[in-house]
Structure 1
Amino acid sequence: MGAAVDVQSGQVVFTVLMKAFVFPKLLMQTHFNENYVESEKYPKATFSGHLVAFEAAVLAGPGPQAVPVEGDLTIHGVTRRVRVPGTLARQGNYLLVNTKFAVAPADYNIEIPALVRGHVAKSVDVTVALTCAPLAP
């Protein structure tokens, strides 16, 4: 996984390998990679966007600061514009960016076989916790 935040502009980019997603049960993880997101064909999820109304001064504040994140999320070869809540905090020379949001597999053309459709959630909670060095001082 790779991630970067530009503290001057608020630009955020990250890439994560689909096989890096962790599930409570190994069988769920196997089905996710082989049958649903086709990790061999679509090995990465990417995000490119920005922290909404970002001001570098927010980094001087105590603790995590609420900052919405907006941009293009690409999963399974499909790119969609998203806006999700997030938090941003500075820890030494590193930035901590966190968000939690729901993704509907259908929005990314991820087909769930009819046989198991009733057992698979219509939306999946995604938690992103990035620790990255700032691109600019």
Structure 2
Amino acid sequence: MKIIYLAFLALVSISSISSTQTDRYQTRTGSISFEASVPTFEPIKAVNKSTTVVLDMKTGNIAALALVKGFRFPIALMQEHFNENYIESDDYPKAILKGSLSDFDANTLSQNISTTFIFDGTIELHGKKKIISFPILLNPSGENIKLESNFNLKPADFDIEIPSIVSNKIAQEVQVSVNAILNKK
């Protein structure tokens, strides 16, 4: 009887792990890019192509993690200033997004219908957390879900100081774009 009970417990554990895995989509190769350019000055933009994004299909919870040093700029000096002077990536190595999709319905996605949901949650950057809300488009395709989003952030909201000597060369609002292909896990 004990053996049957242990076998049943093992089967339940395995099936719950399997069902948890099939209810989650994720990637480690998501892309976050940002642009803080202003007209008539050198473009300020970067991309990070190794962002982790996880979507829980049962709850609509979503999380993303990007290592700040993973952002690549077209000009090496910009990347150095970004990491050392502005974002201080040695002290604040991660950007973290956590929250949920309002009115999330996984059945919509199972019907291969592109749907825009509103993300409500927090973003943590430069040691500061901010409540944030923005649209996210989910586009299912076979076993994958394509995620796209655009939103703006203000460096001042995260206590990122821009020296007055360059403040007119950097936008007050940074345009952020997120693109990821989430795979069923």
Residue among 163, 169, 174 paired with 1:113: 163
RMSD, aligned α-carbons: 1.6
Q: Is 2:147 the partner of 1:97?
A: yes
Q: 1:64 aligns to what?
A: 114
Find the counterpart in structure 1 of residue 182 from structure 2: 132
Q: For residue 29 of structure 1, report the CA deviation from its aligned partner.
A: 2.2
Displacement over 6 Å in runs of 4+: none
* Percent pairwise identity: 34
How big is the shift at 1:19?
1.7
TM-score (norm 2): 0.67
- Does residue 3 of structure 1 match 2:53? yes
Is 2:73 the counterpart of 1:23?
A: yes
How many angstroms does 1:63 deviate by?
5.0
Q: Which amino acid in structure 1 is aligned with residue 146 of structure 2?
A: L
Q: Write the deviation string for residues 37-69 of structure 1: whole angstroms up to 9, x where unpaired.
A: 011111110011011110111203445321111
- Asked whether the 8 Å contact 2:122–2:132 carries over to 1, the reply is yes
Aligned counterparts of 1:91 and 1:31: Cα–Cα separation in 2 = 39
Distance in 1 (CA, whole Å) between partners of 2:55 and 2:107 is: 15
**Higher helix proportion (structure 1 or 2):** 2
Classify the secondary structure of the residue corresponding to 2:98.
Answer: strand
Q: CA deviation at 1:115?
A: 1.5
Q: Which amino acid aligns with 1:110?
A: I
1:14 to 61, 64, 74: 64
Flag structure 1 segments of 5+ consecutive residues without an equivalent: none
CA distance in structure 2 between the partners assigned to 1:20 and 1:66 by the alignment: 28
TM-score, normalised via structure 1 length: 0.89
- Count residues in correspondence: 135
